[in-house]
Amino acid sequence: MENTGAFSRLRDRLRDVHNLRMAAAVLNWDMEVCMPPKGAAARGGQLATLAALAHERFTHPETGTLIRQAQDNQDTLADDERAALREVDYDYRRAARIPENFVRRFAQTRSAAYHAWLDARKQSDFAVFQTHLQKLVTLARELADYLGYEDTPYNALLEDFERGMTTAQLRAVFDELAPRQRALIERIMNAPTQPDAAWLEQTWDADAQWAFTERVLRDMGYDFDAGRQDKSAHPFTTNFSIGDVRITTRLNERDLFSALFSSIHECGHALYEQGFPPEDEGTILAEAPSLGIHESQSRLWENIIGRSLPFWRHYMPVLREHFPGQLDNVDAEQVYAAANRVAPSLIRVEADECTYNLHIILRFELETALIEGNLAAADLPAAWNEKMAAWLGVAVPDDANGCLQDIHWSHGTFGYFPTYALGNLYAAQMFDAVTKAIPGIMSSVGRGEFTPLLAWLRENVHRVGRRKTTPEIVRDATGEEPAAAAFLKYLENKYAPLYGLAQVG
């Protein structure tokens, strides 16, 4: 970008805002990965200060003045500069509606809520978290009032995660997905044969799991010179720059797949962050336009690639090396079948592809009820348990495996969950386009060669950043508007053969 006039001064100002936000991100990463418990109180104040400073500098009238001056001289700006100016103006108009005092209160409340959630989950006692959740719900409603909305306050919160999407649009999408996926699940559950998973009932060494995940991450293209993997209660990805993108996973010696698929999932996010053009470093263009498009990357790598038969045919010898003697009588087809078992279950992050979106729709229904005042925080566990029984036929044994399993509400991120389901839809559309553009793509996967896929994603998604909206990215990359059809077709084509079912058109 050219450094000219008001736009140059605006970019310098925004670089300071970016640096403050990245400093807060470092503290958040530390809080979730390695901070001792007694540091919680002080960390809340530190995060609140940084959030308030970043908000104050971003929403200062001088920022608005520079935006208007740059807009008055847009003819002198390059295309990327105009795109950045457009996105900054959008963010500024929203942020300027939020008082600094609110930003500080929200940051402090979130920090306290996160640690209460950790304790509540450890004790499997929702009561420990209940008051904190109610405070966050109240603050979320206050935030929606500041931002403004039509129809429902949830729309204002959803806009932060999936710009342009509305609650009504989501309900229409989910009304299409839910019955189709439940019908497929019923067919699968009634299939005469089910995958053999008895061989999974072993102890899988944690160090071996860790080494295997890092091997796969490197093969996928994750740059360990620009990132690292750590452990956390809930896997996540965070970035402080294009050259510092970190992921976490969690290990379970009774579950061979949990760490691996968590790592692949987070690597999909990280490859996106590492794939922004270097010249966009520190600018608003080095961001995804929505969490749905970001989630499409993690779901594509985790499910379409990581749970594919070619993937396991390639990695079966490697898996045997890491777990000598434990897989002598197991072949790639058995691992593939076990990795794609369909069974309604308690935990979202470990749910299969056929049931996953039902977990998301459940959370969407509950959080909209919380935000719209139709559900009190105290009633969340009962409502959760009731929906799990009705939608998935699963009895929830305790709060830790129920309404306390996800970190999102402890962060006050209401409106985030629907992006996971949207990511599934976008991922299927994108991979459909990939197979047309690169007909031998799965043969490459079967050889452990991921460069062709990563190159396509870099060109069509990663390098675009916020130059386009999510619908524009999907449309330009696939030739079609965002829709559920490709995802539903993908599920049918994959799971009907796996379970010996007649395919439904």
Active site residues: 266
Neighbours of 205 (CB within 10 A): 15
- Taken as a whole, the chain contains a residue count of 505
| DSSP, res 305 | I
Give me the residue label for tokens 């909305």: 149
Residues 6+ apart with CB under 8 A from 414: 136, 137, 140, 154, 157, 367, 370, 371
CA 71 to CA 421: how far, in whole Å? 36
CA 30 to CA 227: how far, in whole Å? 14
Burial 19-34 (b: 16+ CB within 10 A, else e): ebbbbbbeebbebbbe
Residues 6+ apart with CB under 8 A from 111: 31, 40, 43, 44, 47, 48
- State both tokens at 326: 């434990």
- State both tokens at 474: 């999907």
> What's the order of all strands across the beta sheet hosting 229-231?
229-231, 244-249, 237-241
In one letter, which amino acid is 384? W
With beta carbons less than 8 A apart as the criterion, state whether 229 and 248 touch.
yes
User: Within 13 Å, how many C-alpha atoms sit on residue 475's CB side?
Assistant: 6
With beta carbons less than 8 A apart as the criterion, state whether 484 and 173 touch.
yes
Pairing of strands 244-249, 229-231: parallel
CA 134 to CA 317: how far, in whole Å? 50
Q: Cα separations (Å) of 90 from 84, 457, 501? A: 10, 26, 49
Tell me the three state secondary structure of residue 98.
coil
CA 315 to CA 448: how far, in whole Å? 8
CA 424 to CA 430: how far, in whole Å? 10
CA 144 to CA 414: how far, in whole Å? 11
| DSSP, res 411 | G
